[in-house]
Amino acid sequence: MFQKILIANRGEIALRVLRACKELGIQTVVVHSTADSDAMHVRLADESVCIGPPPSRESYLNIHQIVAACEITGADAVHPGYGFLSENAKFADILAAHNITFIGPSGDHIRIMGDKIEAKRTAKRLGIPVVPGSDGAISDDKEAKRVAAEIGYPVIIKASAGGGGRGMKVAHTEADLEVALQTAKSEAGAAFGDDAVYIEKYLEKPRHIEVQVFGDGAGRGVHFGERDCSLQRRHQKVWEEANSPALNAEERSRIGDICARAIADLGYSGAGTIEFLYENGEFYFIEMNTRLQVEHPVTEAITGIDLVHEQIRVASGGGLSVRQEDIKFNGHAIECRINAEDPRTFAPSPGTITHFHTPGGLGIRVDSGVYSGYKIPPYYDSLIGKLIVHGRNRVECMMRLRRALDEFVVDGIKTTLPLFRDLVGNPDIANGDYDIHWLEKYLAKGE
Ligand code: ADP
């Protein structure tokens, strides 16, 4: 087991990882920018190292400084959290070259999944169902038209290097295709320095369903069921739940088994999420994330398994603590992402939190790095906390969520709490009847 882990992140996820390390009796080091000297993860860690000024590029993304912090403190492993360097293959390689363990998959696996064309090709080879589309990058209009005619309109053009929903364009007819292709290419070139794009069938009313997987690096793979993350705004997840209200037990184990087998065949190590669009009973792979996800606590709530403990065990060579048959799904869990944003316009709302009171009681978990008197710096993303609620079934979970949202107090700044108070009372949400466009349409109506 590791002696000392350096946590290369901030906010709620830094605290989340810190807690797991403490439980396992591992010493902790955190790094932070000058804007985060008062952050909770800095206060609670055994050691902290200031690695630079507020902009992420100069601190949380500064590989040089982070490796130096490991050398100075004698950390033998790094947990990257999510975002920042968590899916940076070069970072994983550099740590390996310094004999520091990256708590995550190999640089090569990160690289494969970071390139969407390569990821899709790999998924297909491993027997994972994919969205019908071009075999690889599209080189010209002629090829685009041929592929689009074959799979049928509407189609979506996506950037191979894509992320955050950028570089994606939908074409409803052949007349739209040329423009869509050109726009997607130039957006991708500008955003990612790589203008390779591919085409796939555009699914009109899918749900976003993702499978949590783990590989032990020694050829074994397991799945921890799925999460439904269909409630999105601008391709950003807002509300996540496990299990998906749309799947039955047979579908769950069918897609779960396919994913677990793929992870085993890949020789993958650590946590991963295989993301699908789901429509009319069919799953279509869209991408794989090679890290811990923001929404992992809903899976923890229904399985009772600490996924960060598992990540640390696997990375240290101790293997997984569970076999597939040990993983049971109990009840239902929902996570609300609470952002420091105006609940109507979604404009960021940094500033000082004058009062912070979290709900409690059975089935309630709040993961947050903020506290009363904390000043939210304007440099980073606006997530200030996650409310995770568990119940014996979805109805009980929703009742508890409504109660917990009423109890939650965040004064001094605007937050997205009012949005969740609206959602929890909405009949479609109560029925679990929503697709990936539901939230945008609901917000556009401005009810
Ligand atoms: P990114 O990495 O940029 O987030 P993804 O491939 O994960 O890109 O897709 C992001 C979102 O775009 C999906 O959650 C979905 O809303 C939409 N999307 C992607 N591919 C398709 C498709 N083939 N049909 C319909 N919507 C899609």
For the segment 343-375, what is each residue's pLDDT rounded down to a tens digit? 999 999 999 999 999 999 999 999 999 999 999
Q: What's the rounded Cα separation, in Å, for the pair 101 and 380?
A: 26
The helix (H) or strand (E) run that includes residue 172 is none
- pLDDT tens profile 184-233: 999 999 999 999 999 999 999 999 999 999 999 899 999 999 999 999 99
Q: What span, in angstroms and rounded, lies between the C-alpha atoms of 227 and 240? A: 7
**Edge-to-edge strand list for the sheet holding 269-279:** 282-289, 269-279, 207-216, 221-233, 236-242, 332-339, 383-391, 364-367
Query: Ligand 1: which of 277, 283, 441 to mutate, most ligand atoms within 8 Å of CB?
Result: 277
CA 123/CA 152 separation, integer angstroms: 22
Q: Which residue has the tokens 């085409």?
A: 199
| Res. 90: pLDDT tops 90 | yes
pLDDT at 87 (0 to 100):
97
Q: Which pLDDT belongs to residue 446?
A: 81
CB of 188 closer than 6 angstroms to any ligand 1 atom: no
Residue 81 Cα, ligand 1 centroid: separation in angstroms? 23
Question: Which CATH number is 132-201's, of 1.10.2020.10, 3.60.40.10, 3.30.1490.20, 3.30.70.2740?
Answer: 3.30.1490.20
pLDDT digit string (tens) for 298-315? 999 999 999 999 999 999
pLDDT at 164 over 80: no
Average pLDDT over residues 275-280: 97
Q: How does pLDDT run across 58-88, given as a tens digit for each residue?
A: 999 999 999 999 999 999 999 999 999 999 9
Peptide bond into 343 cis (omega under 30): no
Structural contact between residues 350 and 399, judged by C-beta atoms closer than 8 angstroms: no
List the residue whose alpha carbon is closest to atom 10 of ligand 1.
165
pTM: 0.96
Residue 277 confidence (pLDDT) above 80: yes
**pLDDT for 399-421, tens place per residue?**
999 999 999 999 999 999 999 99
Domain 207-445 in the same topology as domain 4-91: no
Which overall architecture, per CATH, does domain 4-91 show?
3-Layer(aba) Sandwich (3.40)
Instruction: State the catalytic residues.
Output: 291
User: Please, which residues bridge with residue 284 across strands?
Assistant: 277
Quote the CATH superfamily of domain 207-445: ATP-grasp fold, B domain (3.30.470.20)
- Give the start-to-end residue ranges of the domains of the chain: 4-91, 132-201, 207-445
pLDDT score at 447? 58
Cβ–ligand 1 contact at 234 (below 6 Å): no
Q: Are the beta carbons of 367 and 394 closer than 8 angstroms?
A: no
Nearest ligand 1 atom, CA 159: 3
Roughly what angle, to the nearest 10 degrees, separates helices 63-73 and 89-97?
Answer: 30
Cα 422 to Cα 15, 233, 269, 391, 425: the distances in Å are 29, 15, 40, 20, 6
